């Protein structure tokens, strides 16, 4: 198994366990056991539990930002915004445990560098789309795009978690439609 495959297995195990029981309660032993690797393999690849979590956040935020950027169609601001919201819903549909980790663990002081990266990359996609929409006159020109980007991201994150936990049978398109109707009513 390649080093990249090993890291992916450890990331998957770590995010699942942290989502289930929280960062503090998750041990390297449990992560190694779930990943099917030796505890030493975790330390060899990441140095420590904190190093593993930092690498996990970096890796996952990069993937999330890539998914949001890919969802940005580059078309008119509001249409692109709708696409980015759907892209975020789909990402968290596929990576539900990471959504729970973001909501529960990410905002601790220890992970401020990861929060800054999230703000720059993932929330930056939302901010860019909102700036385009404001520049084209599709939304209010006085909208605070940084705050709006954070609010949109948080709203979609929370709704994605709720949908997976409470309404898994609800089509993602229905959830998306409700979100964009709310957005369109507030940003224009």
Reduce the DSSP state of residue 133 to 3 states and report it.
helix
For residue range 141-167, list pLDDT tens digits in order. Answer: 999 999 999 999 999 999 999 999 899
Element (H, E) at 147: helix 145-166
Share of the chain above pLDDT 70, in %: 97
DSSP state of 153: H
Q: Is the pTM of this model over 0.75?
A: yes
For residue range 44-54, list pLDDT tens digits in order. Answer: 999 999 999 98
Task: Enter the tokens of residue 109.
Answer: 């002081």
Q: Which is nearest to 118 in space by CA: 29, 25, 56?
A: 56
Reduce the DSSP state of residue 108 to 3 states and report it.
coil
Reduce the DSSP state of residue 21 to 3 states and report it.
helix
Reduce the DSSP state of residue 138 to 3 states and report it.
coil
Q: Report the alpha-carbon distance of residue 102 to residue 115 in Å, rounded.
A: 10
């Amino acid at each position: 198994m390649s080093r990249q495959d090993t890291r992916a297995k450890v990331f998957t195990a770590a995010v699942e366990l942290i989502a289930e029981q929280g960062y503090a309660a998750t041990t390297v032993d449990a992560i190694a056991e779930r990943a099917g690797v030796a505890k030493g393999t975790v330390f060899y690849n990441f140095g420590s539990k904190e190093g593993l979590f930092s690498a996990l956040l970096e890796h996952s935020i990069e993937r999330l930002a890539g998914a949001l950027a890919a969802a940005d169609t580059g078309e008119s601001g509001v249409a692109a915004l709708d696409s980015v919201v759907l892209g975020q819903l789909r990402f968290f549909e596929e990576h539900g445990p990471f959504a729970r980790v973001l909501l529960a663990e990410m905002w601790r002081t220890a992970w401020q560098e990861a929060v800054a990266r999230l703000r720059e990359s993932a929330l930056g996609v939302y901010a860019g789309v909102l700036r385009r929409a404001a520049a084209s006159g599709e939304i209010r020109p006085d909208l605070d795009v940084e705050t709006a980007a954070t609010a949109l991201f948080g709203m979609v994150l929370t709704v994605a978690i709720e949908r997976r936990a409470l309404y898994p049978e609800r089509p993602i398109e229905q959830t998306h439609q409700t979100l964009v109707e709310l957005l369109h009513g507030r940003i224009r």
